Amino acid sequence: MIRKMSVKTIIKRTISVIFGLGITVLFLFFLFNFHNLVFSYQIISVSEFVTACIMYVVGILFLILRTKIKNKLVSLLSLLFFVPVICMMIGMGNAERKYVIGTEDAEHEYVERIQTVSEYGPNYTSYRPFLYNNKLAKLDEISKFKIIDNLPILDGATAFFPVYAAFVEAVYPLAFNYMSRTEGNRVLYLNGTAFAYDFLLEGKADIIFCLEPSQEQLQQFYDNNINIKFVPIGKETFVFFVNIENPLNNLTVEDIQGIYSGRITNWINLNGQDGDIIAYQRRKNSGSQTILEKIMGDIPIAEPLMEVVETMAGMIDVVAGYKNFNNAIGYSFRIYSTEMVENNQIKLLSINGIYPSAETIQNNSYPFTVDFYAIYNDTEKKNENIEPFIEWILSEQGQTLVSRTGYVPIN
């Protein structure tokens, strides 16, 4: 016998079902962080996943309880529960995501291997132009240079995204979807050094912000009869870092060459603690790997045997002490490793007794100080706004943004 329900009961249960479906959609939305997929697919940590699942299950139980038990106290508890749940999920959705690092088997293969790291960046949502409360450097006044239409398409290294995104916020019009995923509508990319040079070569980007290219990348432009132009716009330090528990604070250039050639394999050879050195590398044609190759000169770099970590931020994570990697050494850029990727479990090393700081960059005493560039194809068909834009970058306002981002101005 089918029991008839009153209209009031039907309405209540319908609302509960809709509410439950809404919570489910909200859970999935922030669990997989759909609104940040403009950069790359990212995976939340295990603790975040478990927390989200617990909140979801408890939320559904409250809905069932409220449907079954007609009690004002239960209704009140339901409302009080969902407010913090929604707030916590929103917070999780906006939090910086960490990538899954390696496998259990891979972790134990580190002893006699030089690791390699691929190029993907951390979550850069907080550096998006015109986003409320973003982390971009600001000018104290309106930019004296503005581009209204025919906007140059920008791309570049992950380490320099905060500065060229700051240029966009200062110079480009507000009413524009800069991170649109539709080809033809997007003018701001974050592809990393290797793919940024590919974009420039293929004419998909007008200006890229990177270090100098590798010889292989440069040869591609020569082979295609493209005149590539480099304009230095700032200085940055290339840094080496170790776990904060590592007693070493200083290495020489010769020590670095010995480590990455495979000649020095134990920290005890450098007056450190007994332990095999795990020396991480980036993949070929990434900006940081090109710098390492220049530091090594004619000395061959030890061949990487396996890939354990998939992100540049992941290099910092493993050196910071992920499981058995306390003996690791890695490299990056000063601002990237100290500000953009927040990790207090690594320490930067002095090189030849000189610590990487803004002062040692400016006076050129730190040995691994590098210029970074605005780079474009100097052809007759180039965007007419490229050169005026770069001229503004070299002006007082543009260099102010370089400085406030954390780099050292070129002038």
State the Cα–Cα distance between residues 147 and 132, nearest whole angstrom.
Answer: 21
CB 218 within 8 A of CB 197: no
Domain boundary among 40, 73, 94: 94
Q: Is there a single domain that holds both residue 48 and residue 138?
A: no
Q: Is there a single domain that holds both residue 76 and residue 166?
A: no
Q: State the pLDDT at residue 410.
A: 86
Whole-model pTM: value is 0.63
Identify the three-state secondary structure at position 262. Answer: coil
Q: Report yes or no on 1 lying in a domain.
A: no
Rounded to 10 degrees, what is the CA torsion of 335, 336, 341, 343?
-60
Those residues with Cβ within 8 angstroms of residue 293's Cβ, 6 or more apart along the chain or in another chain: 214, 301
Domain boundary among 94, 113, 132: 94
Q: Report yes or no on 287 lying in a domain.
A: yes
* 230 CB burial (10 A radius; 0-12, 13-18, 19+): middle
SS3 of 364-377: CCCCCEEEEEEEEE
Angle at 341 between CA 319 and CA 234, to 5 degrees: 110
Q: Is there a single domain that holds both residue 263 and residue 369?
A: yes
Both tokens of 207, joined, read 């200006």
Q: Report yes or no on 2 lying in a domain.
A: no
State the Cα–Cα distance between residues 243 and 124, nearest whole angstrom.
Answer: 25
Both tokens of 165, joined, read 């995104």
Give the number of C-alpha atoms closer than 13 A to the C-alpha of residue 26, restricted to the C-beta side: 22
Q: Report yes or no on 402 lying in a domain.
A: yes
Q: How far is CA 12 from the centre of its chain?
A: 46
Q: Is there a single domain that holds both residue 81 and residue 136?
A: no
State the Cα–Cα distance between residues 314 and 322, nearest whole angstrom.
Answer: 10
Q: State the pLDDT at residue 284.
A: 75
Q: State the pLDDT at residue 115.
A: 47
Q: What total of structural domains would you count in the chain?
A: 2
Q: What CA–CA distances, in Å, run from 78 to 10, 52, 82?
A: 19, 17, 6
CATH number for the domain spanning 207: value is: 3.40.190.10
Q: State the pLDDT at residue 145.
A: 96
Q: Is there a single domain that holds both residue 47 and residue 72?
A: yes
Q: Is there a single domain that holds both residue 185 and residue 251?
A: yes
Q: Report yes or no on 235 lying in a domain.
A: yes
Angle at 252 between CA 248 and CA 257, to 5 degrees: 110
Q: State the pLDDT at residue 10.
A: 73
Q: Report yes or no on 411 lying in a domain.
A: yes
DSSP string covering 341-365, please? Answer: S--TTEEEPEETTB---HHHHHTT-
Q: Is there a single domain that holds both residue 134 and residue 33?
A: no
Q: Is there a single domain that holds both residue 86 and residue 109?
A: no
* Closest alpha carbon to 379 in 200, 218, 212, 232: 200
Q: State the pLDDT at residue 175.
A: 55
* Closest alpha carbon to 99 in 341, 325, 345, 279: 341
Q: Is there a single domain that holds both residue 289 and residue 328?
A: yes
Q: Report yes or no on 375 lying in a domain.
A: yes
CB 195 within 8 A of CB 40: no
Q: Report yes or no on 278 lying in a domain.
A: yes
CB 190 within 8 A of CB 38: no
Render each residue's pLDDT in the chain as its tens digit; 411 residues. 455 667 777 776 777 667 666 666 666 665 554 434 333 333 445 555 666 667 667 666 666 666 666 555 655 565 555 555 555 555 544 443 332 223 333 333 332 334 444 344 455 678 888 888 888 999 999 999 999 889 999 999 888 999 999 999 999 987 555 555 555 568 899 888 888 999 999 999 999 999 888 888 999 999 999 999 999 999 888 899 888 888 899 999 999 999 999 899 899 999 888 888 888 887 777 777 888 888 888 898 887 644 444 445 544 555 555 444 568 888 888 877 777 666 677 889 999 999 998 788 888 899 998 899 999 999 988 999 999 999 999 999 999 999 999 888 987
Domain that holds residue 301: 103-411
State the Cα–Cα distance between residues 354 and 365, nearest whole angstrom.
Answer: 7
Total number of residues shown for the chain: 411
Residue matched to tokens 């061959």: 300
Q: Is there a single domain that holds both residue 167 and residue 316?
A: yes
Q: Is there a single domain that holds both residue 57 and residue 133?
A: no
Domain boundary among 69, 94, 119: 94
Cα-Cα-Cα-Cα dihedral sign, residues 366, 236, 216, 378: negative
Q: Is there a single domain that holds both residue 84 and residue 136?
A: no
Those residues with Cβ within 8 angstroms of residue 323's Cβ, 6 or more apart along the chain or in another chain: 107
